Structures are given as structure tokens and as C-alpha cells.
A and B are shown apart, each in its own frame.
Chain A
Amino acid sequence: GESVGLHLPTLSVQEGDNSIINCAYSNSASDYFIWYKQESGKGPQFIIDIRSNMDKRQGQRVTVLLNKTVKHLSLQIAATQPGDSAVYFCAEIPNNNDMRFGAGTRLTVKP
């Protein structure tokens, strides 16, 4: 088996605080981005998306910011709750169905 693995960045926040999770993408031609949430033992779940012609998009308690100049994506979660604890990762899509996933960030919410 594998004894050395990818060490996920971690973010630990207090319940009620805001969380910011960052992602750097690689392809300047990517025109669509998705944030996924993956809870332990489950598959990734769509949270929010954004197209490259936008720099901000808001959902319920979540906001995605896109900075194409530096190829950076961020996910902001307002009033973080224990149920938000999960691994969050971004995905970029330069061409239809040619999706690339980031490594992910593990968010832990302390009650």
C-alpha cells in the first residue's frame, strides 16, 4: 500500500466564524470552475460554480471569488457550522468534460 500520501492543507475554524478556502488553478484557458464538498465516506458534492466571465458568485452562505489574473479561486463560507466539516476542492474545466481537480483542503469546524 501507499505509505506516503498527499498531505491535505487543513483549516480549522470556530463555529460561527467565516471560512476562506483557496485554490490555485493551472490552465489560463479554463472557463468554468466548480467547488465540491466531500464528507468522509461520501462522494464529492457540488457546492457552487462560476464561469470565467464573472469574478464573484454567491449562493446560500457560500461565495466563490475568481481572480483570473493570478489564476486563483476562493470559497468563502459564512457562519461556518459543524456540518461544514469536510474536504473542499476546486475543479477547473478548460474544455467540456476535461475536468481537473485540485488536491483539496480539509476544513474542521470546532464547536
Chain B
Amino acid sequence: DAGVIQSPRHEVTEMGQEVTLRCKPISGHNSLFWYRQTMMRGLELLIYFNNNVPIDDSGMPEDRFSAKMPNASFSTLKIQPSEPRDSAVYFCASSFGGVETQYFGPGTRLLVL
């Protein structure tokens, strides 16, 4: 298995632009998690899906952030409009079940200028 796949690996954009991060979970996994990692705040859970349905989005910073999971093999995290404080590494993870057995992707390093 290729593991969790994220794209792009790096993204540089200007403030105000829309950013879309993509994730392909491990085949057969039914839970998907989006995290943000910064030096200031460490690793934070943004949202997680179970069977393609958002279960807990309490970690989503504000309305500028949205996440979708249209099918079991694809999810997006969108930031519109982006701001410099959104600069971080965004990780996607998937599991069969809960957080206990999640596997992380390599992350997308986002820089908003």
C-alpha cells in the first residue's frame, strides 16, 4: 500500500488566494483526519470524517476553512481566503476505526505570503 497520499507537498500562495489541499486515504480505511501543525501550537486536529461524514469539526479555525469527503478515497481541505497565519504543515491521516490506529500522510507545507 502506498500509504496516505497528500498533494501538493508544498504550496506557496499569496494572501487572499484560495488554497486546496488534497488527501487520498489508505484503501479500506473508514476514518479520515485533517491536522495542522505549527511551531506555536503543535499538532491540532481540525476535522475528522467517519464513513465520509464529518463527525467533529470543532477544530476548524473559522469559516475560511472547509473540508469535504465526497467519497471514501478522497478528501479536500480548502482555505478561502488564505491568510499568512494559515502558514503551517497540514497533515491528513486515515484509520480503520478511530484515532488509535491512524496513519499519517507526509503533509503539505503551506506558506501564505
Per-residue B-contact encoding for A36-75, CB less than 8 Å = 1, 0 else: 0000011111100100000000000000000000000000
Per-residue B-contact encoding for A87-111, CB less than 8 Å = 1, 0 else: 0010101001111011110000000
Q: Which residue of B lies closest to A104 (CB)?
A: B42
Q: Which residue of A lies closest to B113 (CB)?
A: A1
Q: Is B34 an interface residue (CB 8 A)?
A: no
Q: Which residues of A contact B55 (CB under 8 A)?
A: 97
Counting contact residues on chain B (CB < 8 A from A), the size range is: 20 to 34
User: Is A42 a contact partner of B42 (Cβ separation < 8 A)?
Assistant: no
User: Is A32 a contact partner of B100 (Cβ separation < 8 A)?
Assistant: yes
User: Is A43 a contact partner of B93 (Cβ separation < 8 A)?
Assistant: yes
User: Is A96 a contact partner of B106 (Cβ separation < 8 A)?
Assistant: no
Q: Within the complex, what minimum Cβ distance (angstroms) separates B92 from chain A?
A: 8
Q: Which residue of B lies closest to A49 (CB)?
A: B100
User: Is A99 a contact partner of B93 (Cβ separation < 8 A)?
Assistant: no
Q: Which residues of B contact A23 (CB under 8 A)?
A: none
* Nearest 10 pairs of A and B residues by beta carbon: A5-B39, A43-B104, A101-B43, A99-B99, A96-B98, A97-B98, A97-B99, A44-B104, A6-B39, A103-B42
Q: Which residues of A contact B40 (CB under 8 A)?
A: 2, 4-6
The one of A43, A45, A93 in contact with B100, judged by C-beta atoms closer than 8 angstroms, is A93
The residue among A41, A44, A103, A104 with the most chain B CB atoms within 10 A of its own CB is A44
User: Is B45 a contact partner of A42 (Cβ separation < 8 A)?
Assistant: no
Cα–Cα, bound, A49→B85 (Å): 33
Task: Write the residues of chain A forming the contact surface with B, with a CB cutoff of 8 angstroms.
Answer: 1-2, 4-6, 32, 34, 41-46, 49, 89, 91, 93, 96-99, 101-104
Cα–Cα, bound, A46→B101 (Å): 8
The one of A2, A44, A91, A96 in contact with B39, judged by C-beta atoms closer than 8 angstroms, is A2
CB within 8 Å for A42 and B106 given contacts A93-B100, A97-B98: yes
Q: Is B66 an interface residue (CB 8 A)?
A: no
Q: Which residues of A contact B85 (CB under 8 A)?
A: 2
What are 30 contact pairs spanning A and B, CB under 8 A? A2-B39, A2-B87, A6-B40, A6-B42, A32-B100, A34-B100, A41-B106, A42-B107, A43-B93, A44-B43, A44-B91, A44-B104, A45-B104, A46-B102, A89-B42, A91-B99, A93-B100, A96-B98, A97-B31, A97-B56, A97-B98, A97-B99, A98-B56, A99-B45, A99-B99, A101-B42, A101-B43, A101-B44, A102-B42, A103-B42
